[in-house]
Structure formats: C-alpha cells, structure tokens
Chain A
C-alpha cells in the first residue's frame, strides 16, 4: 500500500538518534498493544466458557442433584432449581436477571463485540509493528554506513 511504502524515505531522512528513539517508542507501543490483544483473548475465552456452561445448564432438568461450590475447595450437595432464570454480571456491580435464552444471547453479543475489537486492534498492532521493523532496518543500515565510513 502506498502509505507503507512512503515510510521508508521518511525514515531515511532522519538521524540515527531520531531513528533510535522512534524504534524504541514503536517497540513500546507494540508491546502495549500485544498486551491488550492478550487481554481481549483471555476475556473472549472466559466468555466462551460461560457460554458453554450456559448451554450445558439448559440441558439439565430441574431437581437434578449437583455440587454447589462454597469456596474454591468446598462443595456442598444441592439440587438444581429453576435453570430458566440466570443472573448476568453486566459490570460496575450490576447483575441482571435474564432468561436462559437472553443469557445465551448476552454471551453471544459480548463475544462478537470482543472479536470485532480484537480484529481492529490486530490491524493497528500490525501497522505499528511494521513501522517499528522498518525503523529497525533503516537504523541498522545507517549504523553500518557510519561504521564503514569511520
């Protein structure tokens, strides 16, 4: 694309110092963006698990015996009550009672939102990475020039 090809002559015009600082800055930005990408992937996985759990729950009949977690290592036996209503954590401390169908819907919506965010972020990240790589290449070329000149 034209925008990518025109970076290189811009970078060539700069001094070694500027190139170094541009490369460092771009590298930092790429790292931050990669972290965000990982976060989104983790969140999407959690939502996927929630969605799977919901689907499983909807298959269970009412009154089915189950083990209820009280802590991470303590479970007590119980029976499944109404699986038609689920409480959804929507953020900032608010929980909304929804039907099983709405709950599954919610998970789907959130997963789609996260997937589109992930795609957008991926695009930005790859552009930044490209700039960082180009800066690195031009920097190395310049340093070789200086080394051979001196």
Chain B
C-alpha cells in the first residue's frame, strides 16, 4: 500500500514538475521576446538621435522634408526638432518600461528555477525512501 501511494504521489510530483518546466520555458520565451523588442527600440533610438544631431547643425532657414508614405513633405525645422525629440522621449520611456518588465521576468525565472529544484529534490528523496 505504501509503495502504491508513494508511486502515485511521485507521479503527481512529476506532473507538477512538468507544469513548472512548461512555465519556465514560457518565461524564457517572454524574456527573449523582451530582448527582441528592446533591440528594435534601441536601434530606433540611435537613429533618432542621429537625426536630432543633424537637425541641430542646421541654420534656421534650411529646408527639412519628411517622407510620409510616397510623399516628401516640407517641414518646419522647429516642428521637425520637436517631433524627433518627442519620439526620442517616447522610445526612452518604452525602454525603461521594458527594463522593469525584464527585471520582473528574471525574478520570476529565478523563483521558478528554485521551485523546480526543490521539487526535484523531493522526488529524489521520495525515490530514495521507496
């Protein structure tokens, strides 16, 4: 009797282990997605900062055009400056948000790993007794 109940409880533990392992891989996928989005935003941020530098070098009367779809539209230098700055602010805020999300995900990853480790130890202990 004792053997049967311990094997069924070990099966339960195994199922729990599987579930936790699935959670772990999901968290890891989320982390890698986070990295991808982060890379995209970092590239955009760099590009926008280059544009801002170029705009800063211009005289007041220089002509700036923006490509909107297939149309090249003349833009006011001040407006272009403001737009690029706003975009840079937005991207920086998004990056900060992604950073904090990443931290949360990494904490969850570590706690899941610990939980899995404990589970594995319990399973080992169970096997040793039986």
Bound form: Cα–Cα A95–B51 in Å:
9
A94 touches B87 (CB 8 A): no
Q: How far does the alpha carbon of A97 sit from the alpha carbon of B55 in the complex, in Å? A: 11
Stretch at the interface among A74-82, A85-93, A129-137: A85-93
Q: Complex: how many Å from CA A96 to CA B84?
A: 14
Contact A95 B62 (CB under 8 A): no
- A94-B72 in contact (CB<8A): no
For the complex, give the distance between the alpha carbons of A88 and B58 in Å.
Answer: 12
Q: In the complex, are the beta carbons of B84 and A97 less than 8 A apart?
A: no
Query: When the two chains form their complex, are residues A94 and B62 in contact, meaning their CB atoms are under 8 A apart?
Result: no
Asked if residues B68 and A96 are in contact (CB atoms below 8 Å), the reply is: no
From 59 to 91 in chain B, residues with beta carbon under 8 angstroms from any chain A beta carbon are 62-68, 72, 75, 80, 84, 87
Given A95-B67, A95-B72, A96-B55, also A90-B62 (CB < 8 A): no
Q: Which residues of A contact B68 (CB under 8 A)?
A: 93
Hey, which chain B residues are within 8 Å of A94, CB to CB?
51, 54-55, 64-67, 75, 80, 84
| In the assembled complex, B48 has its CB within 8 A of some CB on chain A | yes
Residue A128 at the B interface, CB < 8 A? Answer: no
Q: A95-B72, A96-B58 are in contact. Are A90 and B66 (CB under 8 A)?
A: no
Residue B12 interfacial (CB < 8 Å): no
A98 at the interface (CB under 8 A from B): yes
Chain A residues with CB under 8 A of B87:
92
- The answer to whether the Cβ of B50 comes within 8 Å of any Cβ in the partner chain is yes
Which residues from A are CB-within-8-Å of B54?
88, 90, 94, 96, 106
Q: Is the CB of A91 within 8 A of B58?
A: no
A87 to B65, CA, bound (A): 9
Q: How far is the CB of A118 from chain B (nearest CB, A)?
A: 16
Q: In whole angstroms, what is the CA distance A97 to B64 when docked?
A: 6
Tell me the chain A residues, 90-122 only, with Cβ under 8 Å from chain B: 90-98, 106
Say yes or no for B104: interface residue by CB 8 A criterion.
no
Measured CB to CB, the nearest residue on chain A to B63 is A97
Which residues of B are found within 8 Å of A98, using beta-carbon distances? 62
Closest 6 CB pairs of A and B: A97-B63, A93-B67, A95-B65, A91-B47, A90-B54, A90-B51
Interface residues of B (CB under 8 A from A): 44, 47-48, 50-51, 54-55, 58, 62-68, 72, 75, 80, 84, 87
Q: List 15 A-B contacts (CB under 8 A).
A: A87-B65, A87-B72, A90-B50, A91-B47, A91-B48, A92-B84, A94-B55, A94-B66, A94-B80, A95-B64, A96-B58, A96-B63, A96-B64, A97-B62, A97-B64
